[in-house]
Chain A
Amino acid sequence: MKDVRVLTSPFNPGTLIGPFTNAHPGLGGVCTFVGEVRGEADVEQLELSHYEPLTLPSMEELAEQAITRFDLMGMLMVHRVGAMRPGEPIVCVSAAAKHRRGAIDAVDFAMDHLKSAAWFWKREKRNGQWHWIEPRADDYADLARWSD
């Protein structure tokens, strides 16, 4: 199954992963990554904005690519938008497959694409001032690993 969502309010990844796993009887492995707002001393708030007409369709397409490329049984891809505080989950990606390598690589692939090739913009508030976060060179290098 493919379960792709953009959420505007806080979520608990644990409540999604159980049902996702149970939906794939006969699987060989599930790999899950959960990204949270890092607790840094001066970060008060983080805000993710997106462009709705593109966000969900591009995430659906990314999940579809991962399912085909890594021969998955299913993929769960959930991304928050809106204002968040340190410790809150931002993203959860889970892949179910017959074999472990496909599941692990699919999550790595999906995260690299969500980080620097999906339609999200991130900014953080430090000392009362908002700062836009641009992808780092490392993020682009991570993404380039998957191009053929």
Chain B
Amino acid sequence: MAVRIVFLGPLRDLTGEDSREVPAPLDWAGLLSAVAPQVAEQLNEQRVNVACAGKVLADKTTLNARDGDEVALLPPVSGG
């Protein structure tokens, strides 16, 4: 088992992949080093959110993903 990192919206274009599997567990520092530098740069911006196991984290630096969790990287949204 592993942690699946999912890239959404413009971040998907930035990485050229929809998702990537990395070994569990995964914390904030681990996430930053698991993704491409240009994605890590985006992650450090306040307007990019992170969800873990279907919940948006109030403080993304507290990320603590376990085996089987999905971690979604959520750039600024535009609906309607």
Contacts and interface: CB of A to CB of B under 8 A. Distances in A.
Interface of A: 35, 48-49, 51, 53-54, 57, 79, 90-91, 111, 114-123, 132-135, 139
20 contacts: A49-B8, A51-B51, A51-B72, A53-B51, A53-B72, A54-B51, A57-B54, A79-B80, A115-B78, A115-B80, A116-B76, A119-B77, A120-B77, A120-B79, A121-B8, A121-B9, A121-B10, A122-B78, A134-B78, A135-B76
Contacts of B39: none
Given A53-B54, A54-B72, A111 B78 contact: no
Interface of B: 6, 8-10, 13, 51, 54, 56, 70, 72, 74-80
Nearest to A130: B13
Contacts of B74: 51, 54, 119
